[in-house]
């Protein structure tokens, strides 16, 4: 199966969006390493984004290089990133919400020590990969073909 026959003809959006997601995972892993540096001793779960970022970036490589592997990579890495990002967002925000006292929710999140939406960046890169999987799947199954 050639690259052109596996995906839509023309510009290979799936390949480039997978590359973008891989770069995003590397940057987010580095960011997590810088910001979780002092907390990994107290909270072992802080290792998850540090380790997941580079592993997810490496796992994207077969999807960048091969149209045959792209469906597997984009679906599974995308779902894993959504799970890591969702769980991280919950871990960052649940203590802030529960310990806010008489503060409004907005004020509590503005004063939070943890960045409330930082882990959601993993989830957003994962959503992008799942959308790549979905779009290419629709093309391969013949659901979407422009009228000639």
Rounded to an integer, the average pLDDT of 118-136 is 94
The domain segmentation of the chain, as residue ranges, is 11-140
pLDDT digits (tens, 9 = 90+) for 34-86: 988 888 888 899 999 999 999 999 999 999 999 999 999 999 999 999 999 99
CA angle 69, 49, 128 (to 5 degrees): 45
Phi-psi region of 77 (alpha: psi -120 to 50; beta: other; left: phi over 0): alpha
pLDDT of residue 4: 42
């Amino acid at each position: 199966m050639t690259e052109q026959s596996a995906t839509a003809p023309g510009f290979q959006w799936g390949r480039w969006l997978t590359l973008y997601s891989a770069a995003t995972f590397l940057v987010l892993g580095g960011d997590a390493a810088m910001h979780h540096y002092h907390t990994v001793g107290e909270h072992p779960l802080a290792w998850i984004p540090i380790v997941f970022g580079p592993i997810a970036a490496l796992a994207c490589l077969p999807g960048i290089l091969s149209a045959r592997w792209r469906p597997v990579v984009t679906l599974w890495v995308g779902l894993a990133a959504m799970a890591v990002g969702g769980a991280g967002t919950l871990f960052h925000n649940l203590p802030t919400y529960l310990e806010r006292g008489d503060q409004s929710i907005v004020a509590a999140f503005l004063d939070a020590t943890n960045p409330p939406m930082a882990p959601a960046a993993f989830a957003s890169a994962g959503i992008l990969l799942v959308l790549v999987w979905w779009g290419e799947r629709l093309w391969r199954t013949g659901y979407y073909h422009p009228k000639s």
